[in-house]
Amino acid sequence: MSDVPPRPADVAEILRVEGGRALASLVRTLGDLQLAEDALHDAVVTALERWPRDGVPRTPAAWLTVVARNRARDRLRRESHRSDKEEAAMRLLEPDDGPERPPSESMIDDDVLRLIFTCCHPALAPETRVALSLRTLCGLTTEEIARAFLVTDTTMAQRLVRAKKKIAVAAIPYRVPADHELPDRMPAVLNVIYTVFSEGHTASAGDKLVRVDLCDEAIRLARVLWALLPDEADVMGLLALLLLTDARRATRVDAHGDLVLLADQDRAQWDQARIAEGAALATHALRRSVGHAGPYVLQAGIAATHATAPSFAATDWAQIEAFYAMLEAVTPTPVVALNHAVAVAEVHGPQAGLALVDTISGLDQYHLWHATRADLLRRLDRRDEAADAYQRALALDLSGPERRFLLARLATLTAPG
Amino acid sequence: MPIYAALIYGEDADWSDPAYAEQTSEYAAFGEAAAAVLRGGAALQPTHTATTIAVAGGRGGDMVTADGPFAETKEVLGGFYLIEAADLDEAIAWSAQIPGAWHGKIEVRPVLPM
């Protein structure tokens, strides 16, 4: 126990983070996510009474686990009718080897990794994996998650209850996949973390504060995963990508909430500590996966090249073009092809870029395809065609800042001179 | 250990037709490979042999009989296995070896314990 009484806000934050770890440990002992959540809730109530008075225990997750196990035992004893599953949990809770020992920190870490793979199991719907991870691994409340994803509390509560029921009834296992299964299972885990981050990063609607928290939660989850799987290049790449993207958070929109292009962002305001950490991780991940780099590693490489460039003009576009070419080989989507074409335009000129852009099909309804064509045509001084392309982009569904930006560009074309 | 129903959906086939000899031998091979975990199963006759019945107006009401399957769909339930497995991952791994997984699709559902 520490000597100085902790501040209530600190207690709340420690409980949220360490509560997630304790939950993972409880799922293993109790064999059921709902039972584990109920038991943890009881332990958190006790902690809220005691910690502000007595100080925070040295190993909070282990403390919560032991208290929650005792509460679960009391709960189960009180109930005369028990399901088979609860009988089984009861037996697990009766220690044969004397007084109960708290779990070690490394045991809890292993449990966290198991729970990550359970929450991100491919048998759950992608949006459910995200919600369940935020609930169990990040300790967000159902209401917070509902607000973040712009659905009602009831809808989100139902989604979570259903997911927990499916995990229990269909016996979705609570284990770390074997090495040979990892390539199949890892993408779902990485995708959940990436989705949490992009929800926080790109959303223009909803509660700003919660949204920003999602970015922090995604980075925290990526750090946890990397600490548990330090040799996985894709995990390293994802963490690097999130850090490098987040480092530019403050400069992405201006005081009016308008989008600021990379070329116009104030690089002095970028978070240099995050960039240094992210760039080092990206380099490491790229070295580890030469010849077979995954999409997150390659995107981290691109983000690192941008973030470490002294100015937009001094960006190493040849390097970025090379990364996009590799990314296009791994994930051949029209949007990646478009980004590749933009890089080609920077290296070999707008004519070469435009030639590539015009070979991409399927992006008729994507405003950035029209906006990119418009920009390249403008740079080639083909003003009428450029104006036409801006009009096509503006005819599509756009956010306010994007619309204002394109209108401003269109105005420069029609202005005299 | 939980039991899972592996429901096999695919073309509306008459498995006794010699045209399906190759698929039936694939199924025979699966049956042997999975013998230790199989707790039951059946191949179904094509849907043109199906009769759908309902009792209208609650128990004891009038029975309504109709020719054909419950729902007319392109892919139909052609058979099923009952698989005993430690968890969903194991059930999925076995189900992926059922020939219907590459000729059609397999729906894996846990069976309610009685």
Question: For A59-97, how does the pLDDT look when each residue is reduced to its tens digit (9 = 90+)?
Answer: 999 999 999 999 888 888 777 566 666 666 666 666 554
Tell me which chain A residues have a C-beta less than 8 angstroms from the C-beta of B87.
171-173
DSSP code, position A259: B
Is the CB of residue A199 less than 8 Å from the CB of residue A211? yes
Nearest CB to A173 within list B87, B109, B113: B87
What is d(CA A222, CA A239) in angstroms, rounded to the nearest whole number?
5
pLDDT score recorded for residue A80: 59
Q: Which residues of B touch A173 (CB under 8 A)?
A: 86-89
Q: Pick from B2, B96, B114, B5: which is nearest to A168 by CA?
A: B2
pLDDT digits (tens, 9 = 90+) for B4-28: 999 999 999 998 999 999 999 999 9
Residues of B within an 8 Å Cβ radius of A: 2, 4, 86-89, 92, 108-110, 113
Average pLDDT over residues A344-364: 95
Give the residue from chain B lying closest to A171, CA to CA: B87
| Among candidates B89, B109, B110 on the partner chain, residue whose Cβ is nearest the Cβ of A173 | B89
Q: What is the pLDDT of residue B70?
A: 92
CA Rg value for chain A? 25
If you average pLDDT over residues B48-61, what whole number do you get? 94
Amino acid at A226: W
User: Region A212-223: what's the mean pLDDT?
Assistant: 86
pLDDT digits (tens, 9 = 90+) for A222-266: 999 999 899 999 999 999 999 999 999 888 877 777 778 888 899
How buried is residue A240: exposed, middle or buried, by Cβ count under 10 Å (0-12/13-18/19+)?
Answer: buried
Cα gap A211→B48, rounded to integer Å: 55
Average pLDDT over residues A15-40: 90
At A84 the pLDDT is 65
Percent of chain B having pLDDT more than 70?
Answer: 100
Distance CA B48, CA A161 (A): 40
Locate tokens 């005299």: which residue?
A416
Beta carbons within 8 Å of A30's beta carbon, 6+ residues apart:
A36, A39, A69, A72, A89, A92, A93
Note the pLDDT of residue A206: 46
Q: What is the ipTM of this complex?
A: 0.88
Pick from A42-56, A76-90, A132-146, A378-392: least confident: A76-90
> How confident is the model over B95-105, as a mean pLDDT?
97
Identify any residues that bridge with B5 across adjacent strands, giving them in sequence order.
B82, B109
Q: How far is A125 from chain B (nearest CA, A)?
A: 15
Q: Which of A89-93, A123-127, A295-299 has the lowest mean pLDDT?
A: A89-93
**pLDDT over threshold 70, residue A139:** yes
Average pLDDT, chain A: 88
pLDDT of A277 above 90: yes
- Nearest residue to B108 via CA among A123, A85, A127: A123
Average pLDDT over residues B73-80: 94
Please give the average per-residue pLDDT across A374-391, as a whole number: 95
CA atoms within 13 A on the CB side of B40: 6
